[in-house]
Amino acid sequence: MMSLPADPILSPAEALAYEKEFFNGDEDLQWEVMTKAGEVVADSALRDMRELRTIPHRPRLIVLAGKGHNGADALIAARRFLRTIPTARAVIWPFEPKENCRPLTQRAFEELIEFASKRVEILPVVKGSNSEELNSRWDEITNDRGFDLLLDGILGMQGKPGLKDELAEWIRIINQSDRISVRVSIDLPSGVTDIESEADEPIRADFTYCTGIVKTPVIREDQQLWLGRLRYLDLGFFESSPEGDFADCPKILRSSALPVLRKLRPVHSDKRDYGHLLGIAGSRELGGAAMMCARAALRSGVGLLTFCIPESLHPSFVAFCPEAMWVPLPETPNGGLALEGLGKVRQFLDRADALVMGPGIGIEEESHALIREVAKLFSRPILLDADALRSQIVEPLKDRGNLVFTPHSGELERLLRKQTVESYLSELAGILVKKGPHPQILTNASKLHLFSGSAVLARGGSGDLLSGIIGSLLARGGLTLVESVALGVLWHGRAAEALARQNGQEAVTAMQVLDFLSFALRNDF
């Protein structure tokens, strides 16, 4: 059972039916929600643009506007963007004339022009244009300079496979252009539908903002090429919905879950009140993984930390990170953890609230045997990562309900051994964190998606940090196993976002993520 705020992921048809019931024909409510959506899109884009570069002094925005409500969202977002940055300029490229648009889209057009007519250029409509006209128009508007941001509001969840000729050509021109810095799609990239089709190429987005309801096409593997980084912009659609209404749906965790961890520590508290985490990690050649995992656990607030490492690493580790209690274990001739260290590890098991094993242990079978034997002796939460994610370690364990697995795609393939995730978890009864651009937290009864994070995490060591953060939350207690894991993944991702927005995606290291854990927890963004 999980009490963290999470919303259902619905098919386009389900989402359309839900919205129809939610609004019940109330156009004023629709406009209110649409305004909120457009404003949140603009605010989010201004944050996400910073992963590429500092916002320029005179940013230039282009809006691709369809006749439906996605077009309205994009136009409202443009108005917000221009209001936020008075030096900004916008180009609106509509698919159809304003008078052919839906009433609320027409209203969005009118309010944008009324607010900033001198800073907005409206191009001739796309509909009815041929390829030469579209290419010529694009060359003309990008002749002096390109665009810092593109907002795609052409098609929404009611889009169908098979784009009209001019629409397909329009999208092709946009996708092939190198004059756009950041591309944002609202709800779904135009051309992405719930029906698998290779007939047309959708808009290729850098970010897709799922506004109000996350639709199932964005979690399909065959659509990932077009979606870019996913963001869920919660508009409050499900705040009053009975929990049982969507019990069987996959869920998306709201970013508002993270403040669950934002609490003042009681004055009369003790280090023992914040958990004791025991780690078994590292080898002579891969000691950095153990250090990164340990430092992440410390930075995420665990009260006590004991880490068992190869004895050759002990002096340097104590000097570099004195906050942890480093326990030297016997080594194999190749520098791995030797099985004879089991007796020493047993001395600490009764004191620990949670156990993290695997980062940097390497591929020696003797080290794997040590991990397996320790896991047999420990009945509290156990997180297995990296080279501890092996069937010969997991399968002999009788009690698997306390296990947490954090594999990347290669480790997952090795662990499953050609089984599906569903069949593996039905036998396992543990929690599996499927790492990747958009992590998933899977059990035999649920599927939870998280859209936090940044490509800044595409670096060696990011997973070791995640293991330490989750391990810290598992040891601290007060949450269910799933809640601890979900909050750990969310916190890790939000810190990465903050790092990327401050320093970009390139000239940083994985360890710098830890410097932004505090910012991610203390700020709503």
CATH number, domain of 394, equals 3.40.1190.20
Distances (CA, A) of 175 to 72, 152, 218, 306, 425: 22, 12, 19, 51, 40
Q: Please check whether residue 416 lies inside any domain of the structure.
A: yes
Where does a domain end: 189, 222, 252?
A: 252
Say yes or no to pLDDT of 91 above 60: yes
What integer pLDDT is reported at residue 195 of this predicted model? 77
Q: How confident is the model at residue 74 (pLDDT cuts 50, 70, 90)?
A: very high
Q: Please check whether residue 355 lies inside any domain of the structure.
A: yes
Instruction: Return the number of other C-beta atoms located less than 10 Å from residue 33's C-beta.
Output: 21
Amino acid at 409: S
Instruction: Return the number of other C-beta atoms located less than 10 Å from residue 52's C-beta.
Output: 17
Average pLDDT over every residue of 333-345? 98
Look at the block and give the residue holding tokens 């900033």.
Answer: 116
Task: For residues 108 and 211, state if they share a domain.
Answer: yes
Cα 435 from chain centre? 10
What integer pLDDT is reported at residue 150 of this predicted model? 98
Q: Please check whether residue 220 lies inside any domain of the structure.
A: yes
Task: For residues 339 and 204, state if they share a domain.
Answer: no
Task: For residues 308 and 354, state if they share a domain.
Answer: yes
Nearest to 204 by CA among 232, 229, 237: 229
Task: For residues 150 and 248, state if they share a domain.
Answer: yes
**Are 268 and 436 contacting, i.e. CB atoms less than 8 angstroms apart?**
no
What integer pLDDT is reported at residue 37 of this predicted model? 97
Task: For residues 204 and 331, state if they share a domain.
Answer: no
Average pLDDT over every residue of 45-62? 97
Task: For residues 190 and 300, state if they share a domain.
Answer: no
Task: For residues 205 and 235, state if they share a domain.
Answer: yes
Q: Please check whether residue 85 lies inside any domain of the structure.
A: yes
Range of the structural domain that residue 435 is part of: 273-492
CA distance 77 to 149: 12
What integer pLDDT is reported at residue 460 of this predicted model? 96
**Mean pLDDT across the chain:** 95
Residues 219-224: contacts with CB within 8 Å, 24+ apart?
A: 219/9, 219/250, 219/438, 219/449, 220/196, 222/196, 223/192, 224/437
Task: For residues 208 and 282, state if they share a domain.
Answer: no
Task: For residues 135 and 43, state if they share a domain.
Answer: yes
Q: Out of 29-33, 135-139, 158-162, 176-180, which region has the weakest mean confidence (pLDDT)?
A: 158-162
Q: Please check whether residue 507 lies inside any domain of the structure.
A: no
Q: How confident is the model at residue 199 (pLDDT cuts 50, 70, 90)?
A: low
Contacts of 80 (CB under 8 A, 6+ apart): 38, 39, 41, 42, 43
Amino acid at 85: I
What integer pLDDT is reported at residue 492 of this predicted model? 98
Q: Please check whether residue 508 lies inside any domain of the structure.
A: no
The percent of residues in the chain predicted with pLDDT above 70, rounded, is 98
What integer pLDDT is reported at residue 241 of this predicted model? 75
CA distance 173 to 159: 19
Task: For residues 232 and 300, state if they share a domain.
Answer: no
Nearest to 175 by CA among 123, 229, 226, 231: 226
**Are 496 and 502 contacting, i.e. CB atoms less than 8 angstroms apart?**
no
What integer pLDDT is reported at residue 429 of this predicted model? 79
Of 476 and 200, the one with more pLDDT = 476
Task: For residues 279 and 240, state if they share a domain.
Answer: no
Q: Please check whether residue 237 lies inside any domain of the structure.
A: yes
**Are 450 and 210 contacting, i.e. CB atoms less than 8 angstroms apart?**
no
CA distance 182 to 396: 49
Say yes or no to pLDDT of 1 above 60: no
**Are 334 and 312 contacting, i.e. CB atoms less than 8 angstroms apart?**
no
What integer pLDDT is reported at residue 450 of this predicted model? 98
What integer pLDDT is reported at residue 367 of this predicted model? 98
Average pLDDT over every residue of 294-310? 98
Amino acid at 166: E
Residue 120's SS3 state is strand
Amino acid at 274: Y
What integer pLDDT is reported at residue 162 of this predicted model? 67
First to last CA, the chain: 27
CATH number at residue 118: 3.40.50.10260
The percent of residues in the chain predicted with pLDDT above 90, rounded, is 87
Look at the chain and report how many structural domains it folds into: 2
In this predicted model, what pLDDT tens digit does every residue of 221-234 receive, in sequence order? 888 889 999 999 99
Q: How confident is the model at residue 354 (pLDDT cuts 50, 70, 90)?
A: very high
Average pLDDT over every residue of 428-433? 89
What integer pLDDT is reported at residue 525 of this predicted model? 80
Structure tokens at 481: 């196993």
Q: Is 508 exposed, middle or buried (0-12, 13-18, 19+ CB in 10 A)?
A: middle
Concatenate the DSSP letters of all residues of 237-270 into one string.
Answer: TTTTS-GGGGTTS-EEE-GGGGGGG--PPPTT--
Q: Please check whether residue 268 lies inside any domain of the structure.
A: no
The C-alpha R_g of the chain, in whole angstroms, comes to 25
CA distance 381 to 383: 7
Task: For residues 448 and 338, state if they share a domain.
Answer: yes
